[in-house]
Amino acid sequence: MPVYPALEVVSHAPADRLNEDAWLALGAGPLGETIVAAAIDGATTRLTPPALQDYLDRQPQPLTPAAFAARFVRDSLARQIGAGCPPDLRTLMLEANDDLGRALIDLFGALTLDALRLPTDSHLRLPRDPRLVRLGLPAAVMTLIEVDPRALTLRFAHAGDTALLVAYADGRFTVPTRQRAALDGDLLRLAQRLRADAPAQPFREAARHLEVQRKNLLNALAHNYVDEHGLPQPARGIGVLNGLPELRYFVQTGEVSLEGALFVCVMTDGLLWPARAEEVFAEDPARASELRRERFAFMAGQIARKGLSGYLADLRAAEAADPDHERYPRLKTHDDATGVLLRFG
């Protein structure tokens, strides 16, 4: 007799900001015997095309490009699953990306730099490169799972820096999703170098330096990255749902056994416990990996004991206690935090 898990969801944004995350939890399969869940994180659009801004301004509720992308992807997934589409997760993700692409082509006419008519920025002069279309496309990242309580298996499809955490009753845990932390890590290390001339400057202020802003702007080139010849390079980029067909080269899939599992959690990066300075600036990759594993072990233990709501309260308190971002170097004091927890224990 299968044991169906209990569900807990958190999705929280700072009071002064629109939540740019989304989530999904639905029954799937012919008899609703499996559970499909997702954590979806809207990615900040570097430069908003005028046509997109005009469209968003006409909506009945305020939307940012990131919130639009996350909600569009969620709704596409829900439509597909509700229509009885076989829950092949990679196919669901790619079809949601195609849906977004078609909507953006209707809006812009084409997914090209010329069609988007990106606003210029006198402080951040950009080279003329067709790949820079990525700076203006609304985008989202996602971890999508299907849990089969009868077979005690979990399948996943993943693109971006969201995460899947599976914890077991015997104390083991696994994070099978790859996270592209290098881009944010490069920004944080750049901010650390820039404040060498002003060591009294809080890290939070150093992270606002124009050079950091420019690097962050150009990091959007990594979205479904292609080289100068238009060839996808998954090792150098990050998968995002932004309507571009190259996403298919960046989707990670896998399967995890749930035998003895305590819980399964998909989450946006804002729900991850932040890395301490020792981990962020570690020069030895092995040491950084060890500290990262300790951090996820701590997360698994806290979620097991307190659930997502209790864990989120502790996370917000830790972030608030570090307003200058010194203990936990990061770009935002608080990020949107969303998680879907399926608890078996």
- What DSSP state is assigned to residue 162? -
pLDDT on residue 33 = 83
Exposure of 70 by Cβ count < 10 A (0-12 exposed, 13-18 middle, 19+ buried)? buried
pLDDT on residue 29 = 76
Cβ atoms 235, 221 nearer than 8 A: no
**Structural domain boundaries of the chain?**
6-334
Per-residue confidence at 139, pLDDT binned at 50, 70, 90?
very high
In angstroms, how far is the first alpha carbon of the chain from the final one? Answer: 15
Exposure of 53 by Cβ count < 10 A (0-12 exposed, 13-18 middle, 19+ buried)? middle
Average pLDDT over residues 262-272: 97
Domain 6-334 indexed as CATH 3.40.50.970: no
Three-class SS of residue 290? helix
Cβ atoms 262, 168 nearer than 8 A: yes
Separation of alpha carbons 40 and 268, rounded Å: 7
pLDDT on residue 183 = 67
pLDDT tens digits for 286-341? 999 999 999 999 999 999 999 999 999 999 999 999 999 999 999 888 999 999 99
- Residue 99 tokens read as 């849906």
Torsion of CA 56, 59, 62, 63, to 10 degrees: -40
Q: At what angle do helices 65-82 and 50-57 cross, to 10 degrees?
A: 70
pLDDT on residue 125 = 59
Cβ atoms 69, 100 nearer than 8 A: yes
Q: What proportion of the chain, given as a percentage, has pLDDT over 90?
A: 68
Give me the residues paired with residue 23 across strands: 39
pLDDT on residue 126 = 61
CA atoms within 13 A on the CB side of 226: 17
Q: Which of 286, 33, 254 is nearest to 151 (CA)?
A: 33
Per-residue confidence at 196, pLDDT binned at 50, 70, 90?
confident
* pLDDT beyond 50 at 123: no
- Residue 274: partners with Cβ closer than 8 Å, 6 or more residues away: 318, 319, 328, 330
Separation of alpha carbons 64 and 3, rounded Å: 40
pLDDT on residue 122 = 43
Separation of alpha carbons 287 and 283, rounded Å: 8
pTM of the shown model = 0.94
pLDDT on residue 86 = 64
Per-residue confidence at 195, pLDDT binned at 50, 70, 90?
confident
- Report which of residues 223 and 121 the model is more confident about: 223
User: What mean pLDDT value characterizes the chain?
Assistant: 91
pLDDT tens digits for 100-114? 999 999 999 999 988
Separation of alpha carbons 258 and 154, rounded Å: 7
